[in-house]
Amino acid sequence: MIEIVPAIDIIEGRCVRLTQGDYAQRKEYGDPFEMAQQFEDHGITRLHLVDLDGARERRVVNYGILEQIASRTSLVIDAGGGVRSDEDLRIVFESGASMVTGGSIAVKDRALFLRWLKHYGPDRIVLGADFRAGKVSVSGWHEGTSLDLMEFVADYRTEGVEKVICTDIERDGMLEGPSLETYKALKAADNKLFLIASGGISKMEDIELLDEEGIDGVIIGKAIYEGKIALKTLESYIINNS
């Protein structure tokens, strides 16, 4: 069964959602800890936590919220945003993250990312492969690259990466459905890849379609916050498919 992974993105201590990664198009949804508690209350076990202040400032900022959620819930958290140094990584792990997602660092400092991967292992170091029109983007999606998404993922797979979170930036926050063909292509190229799809989820049918295609996980954000997908519905889906 596909793994359900709600997202909590944080700016200035608040739970927010952006549209296509645009900080000017943000909407607040309250307290991150209270949101995490709601997820847990509905049988969800995983959480994708993104420090958007950290992504912008290129250093970990909101680790206090991570620590609060990790210490007061049983959610398994993968954290990202602003993890650019050994010190950032230490802070995030000591604050309670089970996994760290590295996107910008994997592009900008390959040697450091590979050192983390070797030291902590592929269960704890997740590759963030965010893309726009088939090309990888970094730095909170504000910086494009010439790196081809498929080649980028395949390259890191040869280095031992096992889990990849792949976000279609143009679909993120748009509620227009996921980039299914891209995810199918990634799985067709490497069916042992643990692929987590992100961006565009708008309804339960999107999740079911990804599940049918063998996608391993799905990150859901705005669809939950805007009431397009009820937590009760997710709870029933988890129970019925467990």
> Hey, which residues are catalytic here?
9, 130
Residues facing residue 121 across a β-bridge:
none
- In our burial notation (b when 16+ CB lie closer than 10 A, e otherwise), range 199-231 reads bbbbebebbebbbebebbbbbbbbbbbeebbeb
Q: Name the DSSP class of 2.
A: P
- Return d(Cα 15, Cα 33) in angstroms, integer: 9
Rg (CA), the chain: 16
- Spatial CA neighbour of 219 closest among 20, 29, 46, 42: 46
Crossing angle of helices 180-189 and 204-212, rounded to 10°: 20
- Spatial CA neighbour of 52 closest among 27, 86, 72, 69: 27
- Return d(Cα 128, Cα 105) in angstroms, integer: 9
